[in-house]
Amino acid sequence: MPLLPIVTLWSCLLAAMLALPVADARAEPAPAGRILYFNPEISIDNFLVLEEKFNAFLAEKGKTRFTPASTIATFEKELSGKPDGAQLLLISSWYYKSLRDTTRLRPLLIGTRNGMTSQKKVLVVRKEEKDPGDGINIASATSQEFASQLLDEMAARSKTPLPKRFGILRVPKDLDALMSVAFGMADAALAAEHGWRHLRQINPTQFERLRMLAESREIPLPILAVNEARADRDAALADPLRAMNQSEKGETALRLLGLDGFRPPTPAEEQFLNQ
Amino acid sequence: MEYMRRLILLLCMLWAGGAIAAEPKILIINSNGAIARYEEIRKEFLAQLGQPAHTVDLQGKEDATASVAAEVARYAPDIIFNIGSQAHQVANEKFKEIRQVFAAVINWRRFPVGEYALGVSNEPMSGMQFSLMRSLFPNLKRIGVLFSPEVNREWVETAAEEAKSWQFDLVTRPITDPSRLRDQLINLLEESDALWLISDPVVLSSKEAVLAIFAGADKLRKPVVAYNELFAQYGAALVVSVDTPTIGRQAAMLAKKILNSPKPAGEKVVSPAGSYVILNRKQVSRYDLKINNDAIDMINRIIE
């Protein structure tokens, strides 16, 4: 008997079995509060696992639920509705700044990674390539909108002229973006600086074949924010997240977000975010 | 007044006609729209392209050449996007003069790549798999691989070279006779830290062969790394497969490229750029594998 139909059948059975716990989870009573998540800076396609791990951590602390949104439309639809209970927003700092035009927000916590609360993005090309002109394809795990804004900002800081017209090939991970340049699937990669450093660590040969063309300014990591008008009531929802990295479940959920902890923003960070 | 109204209407129609004519006509031939993966590729292709296209669904029918030919004659496309082997076979054979892009074609090397054709291959490149193995399992060193020399000799030789740059030693065992698989497997596993499954019809010749491989690896407490998510059910510790939506987006970029220039420079067939990663945490604990916590955000699915 051919292998493919057998394994496909097995796959279907497994999918059916996997569907059961999801249905059970949804049958739980309405949550007391929720954390709405949206991050256009990274290409998240692991929502199921992220939601499951975050909620496994939150379930130990109370009745707060984690609700990720994959698109800006879904997020804004959720945001425009009247929340069932208390609500916090876990959003990228770039989106935080753009949302502040319409909503009064206060940052409660900022994400950390290896002791840092910010990161740079870098534009990388193959070493032998001359400075890329218009029309190139840039692989990136960010949204088109964020990538365009980031490249404008990089161009203003860069001594090397950067392309004004380009196509974005959205890939799931920074490492995919860097590999796409190394193996010729894209002309350039827009990735987080730590992804670029990671490549140097795991494959110095590939790293040497690439070069960084431009870098961004420091971009704060994701922000946990509260609507100023409801801060007195809702801010307490942030409490379990302050020591999230102390529990195994919390650490896994943080790692899936590319973070290793949260801490309150410094006055300087708060000022930068609210500029 | 009526004359003026008609004149404006006529001008609008001419303007609209001009605008439509300026957009290239794109025909998508889908081997089978009922296959979720093909449909996902089609949707992402259209989203990335940002313009409408006409789709013909072959519904898996084998005698589709005549109906496709009629559709091509009627629609007169500037470019055809073939999804799946069947669509590619028909278009590649019958419409060589039309620019084409293909994706989701199993073993694309079976077909000649036309003069005006570009494609996205179906298989993850070895470099993508090594990059994720190395990112997640920093302590792995020796990776065992079984292969049929007839089918995969060149591919394995290239992969062995590639593996060195990721600080892996590829330990290889050719399989010419599937009945000797078990002996070769045990011998290979004894020399390896993990077993890497590659797409090979001689090694993975039956369900029994797959079960024997996983049972052998489990007996010697060696993790299996696989290229297709179907192997997650058999107990693969790590699966690194291709991300389907990215293939659709890549195909759209190739379509734009070939529309701008019928014979563009560069590779005619590119590898998939996106990865999809499944980690089986039970197996990771069972085999005492050290996992790099910093790379957990690269995982799409975790099996507990």
Per-residue pLDDT of chain A (275 residues; tens, 9 = 90+): 444 444 444 444 333 333 333 333 333 433 489 999 999 888 766 778 899 999 999 999 888 999 999 888 899 898 888 877 899 999 999 999 999 888 899 999 999 999 999 999 999 999 988 878 888 999 999 988 899 999 999 999 988 889 989 999 999 999 999 999 999 999 999 999 999 999 999 999 999 999 999 999 999 999 999 999 999 999 999 999 999 999 999 999 999 999 999 999 999 999 999 88
A193 to chain B, minimum CA–CA distance in Å? Answer: 14
The confidence score (pLDDT) of residue A45 equals: 67
Sign of CA dihedral A96, A75, A167, A50: positive
The closest CB to that of B273, out of A186, A206, A258, belongs to A186
Tell me the chain A residues in contact with residue B299 when contact means C-beta distances shorter than 8 Å.
Answer: 46, 49, 256
The closest CB to that of B249, out of A3, A170, A173, belongs to A170
Chain A's closest residue to B240, CA to CA, is A176
Does one domain contain both A91 and A126? no
For chain A, the domain total comes to 2
A181 to chain B, minimum CA–CA distance in Å? Answer: 9
Instruction: Flag if A167 and B297 touch (Cβ within 8 Å).
Output: no
Does one domain contain both B292 and B186? yes
Does one domain contain both B117 and B145? no
Chain A's closest residue to B135, CA to CA, is A202
Tell me the chain B residues in contact with residue A182 when contact means C-beta distances shorter than 8 Å.
Answer: 127
Does one domain contain both A108 and A233? yes
User: How far apart, in whole angstroms, are the C-alpha atoms of residue B34 and residue B54?
Assistant: 17
Does one domain contain both B8 and B116? yes
Chain B's closest residue to A175, CA to CA, is B131
Chain B interface mutation, best of A18, A37, A119, A179, highest count of B Cβ atoms under 10 Å? A179
Does one domain contain both B81 and B149? no
B186 pLDDT more than 50:
yes
Does one domain contain both A90 and A159? no
Does one domain contain both A242 and A108? yes
Tell me the chain B residues in contact with residue A185 when contact means C-beta distances shorter than 8 Å.
Answer: 250, 270-271, 273
Tell me the chain A residues in contact with residue B246 when contact means C-beta distances shorter than 8 Å.
Answer: 169-172, 176
The confidence score (pLDDT) of residue A10 equals: 41
Could you give the C-alpha distances from B199 to A166, A252, B63, B107, B236, in angstroms and in order?
Answer: 35, 32, 29, 10, 14
Does one domain contain both B179 and B252? no
State the CATH number of the domain containing residue B91. Answer: 3.40.50.2300
Tell me the chain A residues in contact with residue B300 when contact means C-beta distances shorter than 8 Å.
Answer: 45-46, 49, 172
Does one domain contain both B235 and B249? no
Inter-residue contact A234 to A108 (CB < 8 Å)? no
Does one domain contain both B8 and B150? no
User: How far apart, in whole angstroms, are the C-alpha atoms of residue A122 and residue A219?
Assistant: 11
State the CATH number of the domain containing residue A65. Answer: 3.40.190.10
The closest CB to that of A45, out of B125, B296, B300, belongs to B300
For chain B, the domain total comes to 2
Does one domain contain both B135 and B176? yes
The residue range of the domain holding B178 is: 126-242+275-303
The confidence score (pLDDT) of residue A21 equals: 36
Instruction: Flag if B206 and A3 touch (Cβ within 8 Å).
Output: yes
pLDDT band for position B17 (50/70/90)?
very low
Does one domain contain both A82 and A41? yes
Does one domain contain both B162 and B298? yes
Chain A interface mutation, best of B121, B261, B297, highest count of A Cβ atoms under 10 Å? B297
User: How far apart, in whole angstroms, are the C-alpha atoms of residue B213 and residue B224?
Assistant: 9
The residue range of the domain holding A172 is: 121-217
Contacts of B244 (CB under 8 A, 6+ apart): B37, B40, B41, B44, B276
The closest CB to that of B233, out of A14, A179, A205, belongs to A14
Does one domain contain both A7 and A105? yes
Does one domain contain both B86 and B208? no
A229 to chain B, minimum CA–CA distance in Å? Answer: 34
The closest CB to that of A255, out of B167, B207, B296, belongs to B296
> Which one, of A80, A44, A48, lies nearest residue A172 by Cα?
A44
The closest CB to that of B131, out of A169, A172, A179, belongs to A179
How many CB atoms sit inside 10 A of residue B22's CB?
7
The confidence score (pLDDT) of residue B304 equals: 86
Tell me the chain B residues in contact with residue A39 when contact means C-beta distances shorter than 8 Å.
Answer: none
Does one domain contain both A163 and A31? no
pLDDT (tens digit per residue) in B84-97: 999 999 999 999 99
pLDDT band for position B5 (50/70/90)?
low
Residue where a domain terminates, one of A217, A238, A256: A217
Does one domain contain both A230 and A107? yes
pLDDT (tens digit per residue) in B157-170: 999 999 999 999 99
The closest CB to that of A179, out of B127, B167, B301, belongs to B127
Tell me which residues of chain B have a C-beta less than 8 Å from any C-beta of chain A.
125, 127-128, 131-132, 134-135, 165-167, 204-207, 210, 229-231, 233, 243, 245-246, 249-250, 253, 256, 266-267, 270-271, 273-276, 293-302
B33 pLDDT more than 50:
yes
Instruction: Flag if B298 and A175 touch (Cβ within 8 Å).
Output: yes
Instruction: Flag if A252 and B297 touch (Cβ within 8 Å).
Output: no
Does one domain contain both B31 and B54? yes
For residue B147, the one-letter residue type is F
Percent of chain B with pLDDT over 70: 93
Does one domain contain both A33 and A93? yes
Three-state helix/strand/coil letters over chain A: CCHHHHHHHHHHHHHHHHHHHHHHHHCCCCCCEEEEEECCCCCCCCHHHHHHHHHHHHHCCCCEEEEECCCHHHHHHHHHCCCCCEEEEEECHHHHHHHCCCCCEEEEEEEEECCECEECEEEEEECCCCCCCCCEEEEECCCHHHHHHHHHHHHHHCCCCCCCCEEEEECCCHHHHHHHHHCCCCCEEEEEHHHHHHHHHHCHHHHHCEEEEEECCCEECCEEEEEHHHHHHHHHHHHHHHCHHHCHHHHHHHHHCCCCEEECCCHHHHHHHCC
B74 to chain A, minimum CA–CA distance in Å? Answer: 32
Does one domain contain both B156 and B297? yes
Number of Cα atoms under 13 Å in the Cβ half of residue B66? 1
How many CB atoms sit inside 10 A of residue B51's CB?
10
pLDDT (tens digit per residue) in B58-87: 999 888 889 899 999 999 999 999 999 999
Chain B's closest residue to A42, CA to CA, is B297
pLDDT (tens digit per residue) in B118-173: 999 998 899 999 999 999 999 999 999 999 999 999 999 999 999 999 999 999 99
Instruction: Flag if A176 and B271 touch (Cβ within 8 Å).
Output: no
Instruction: Flag if A137 and B253 touch (Cβ within 8 Å).
Output: yes
Does one domain contain both A269 and A136? no
Does one domain contain both A38 and A91? yes
Instruction: Flag if A179 and B165 touch (Cβ within 8 Å).
Output: no
The confidence score (pLDDT) of residue B63 equals: 82
